[in-house]
Amino acid sequence: MNLLQVLEKINSHDIILASKSPRRQHLLAELGVKFRIAADVEIDETCPAGMDPSEITLFLARKKAAQFRERLHKKSVLITADTIVWFQQEVMPKPSGRDEAKHMLRRLSGHIHEVYTGVNVKSFTKEAAFFSRTAVHFKELMESEISYYVDVFSPLDKAGAYGIQEWIGYVGVERIEGSFYNVMGLPVQQLFQKLVEFVSEAPQEDKSDP
């Protein structure tokens, strides 16, 4: 099939994105995928002890998908995702306020951290999950840069207190290793391939980043 046929086949399904994130919604739309938003997912994000970061994101993405068990029909394809910032063996959550946001950026300054996204794709008959990992290298940030970013952009809705697509990413990120779009919250290259698999007749084996 050519690309137009592939997109037509994907868009003949009821694609559901269970996410309130405007960044995930934008990225999925940019793929050419027609979808509807189901943003009513509320879960307890407590995870079993001892999980590595990839396991955390996959566990939470699957947990979100489980909330829709009774709401899928034969043409449904549900997408759920969870993204974490992993630094010094711990998850950096969304900051509770501006002071905490500045504290988080001071910690990330001059260091490498990792961003993991777990994605779960679920239809009426199939379910598969994968994850993506990106290493982000931050330069040493000046205090004035941190204050400017937090005060102007107010990144309180972002894990790790920053968005790579915003000003701080332009001036602070020296390089990345892995998918840029994963850091935004959705590894779209992998997701597109998974959607192609899901709407084809023969399911294929799940694959994840090494």
- Does 151 qualify as catalytic in the annotation? no
Single pTM value for the model: 0.90
Which of the residues 14, 52, 82, 157 is marked catalytic?
Answer: 82
Residue, of 81 and 72, whose pLDDT is higher: 81
Kindly report, residue by residue over 133-178, the tens digit of the pLDDT. 999 999 999 999 999 999 999 999 999 999 999 999 999 999 999 9
pLDDT tier for residue 198 given thresholds of 50, 70 and 90: confident
pLDDT digits (tens, 9 = 90+) for 4-49: 889 999 999 999 999 989 999 999 999 999 999 997 677 788 888 8
For 178, what's the count of Cα atoms within 13 Å in the CB-facing half-sphere?
A: 25
CB 140 within 8 A of CB 153: no
d(CA 117, CA 169): 18
pLDDT in tens, 79-114: 999 999 999 999 999 999 999 999 999 999 999 999
Q: Does residue 1 surpass a pLDDT of 90?
A: no
Q: Which domains does the chain have, with CATH numbers?
A: 3-199 (3.90.950.10)
